[in-house]
Amino acid sequence: MKHLVLLCVLLFASQAQFIQKGELCQKLKAEGMDGFLGITLPNCEFAPILSSINHNRDGSSDYGIYQISSHYWCQENKSRKAKNDCKISCSNLLNHNIMDDLRCVKKIAAEAKGLTPWVAWQSHCQSLDLKQFNC
């Protein structure tokens, strides 16, 4: 049984797509977001896993490295109608091309005038010295 559990863990880990800090910094700079505290969001939410999906109690899900909510920002392939304010399919938030993710993060942060839409940011990062995450 232990071998089966270990095999499942290894298979899951091999499917996860991570992004390195240097690559994330390059993409933030390309999108005009250098110096943006969004570099910290993946570390506040979870690990920098591109293909991460987390399900919420309200039936919505959070997608990708920035855990963007399907309730407001992206459209799931379900019959459930979302606001889809970023005009993006949630599945597009799971791939290695994070430029569309970054455009959505910019929209979210601009509308909220900060990173408050991310509960993990408020709970775990907002009051910390975040210099370690700077590009």
Told to judge if 76 belongs to the known catalytic residues of this protein, a careful annotator would answer no
Told to judge if 45 belongs to the known catalytic residues of this protein, a careful annotator would answer yes
Judge contact between 68 and 60, C-beta under 8 A: no
Among residues 23, 45, 101, 111, the one annotated as catalytic is: 45
Among residues 23, 31, 34, 62, the one annotated as catalytic is: 62
Closest CA to 17 of 75, 73, 98, 99: 98
Judge contact between 95 and 16, C-beta under 8 A: no
Question: Which amino acids are annotated catalytic?
Answer: 45, 62
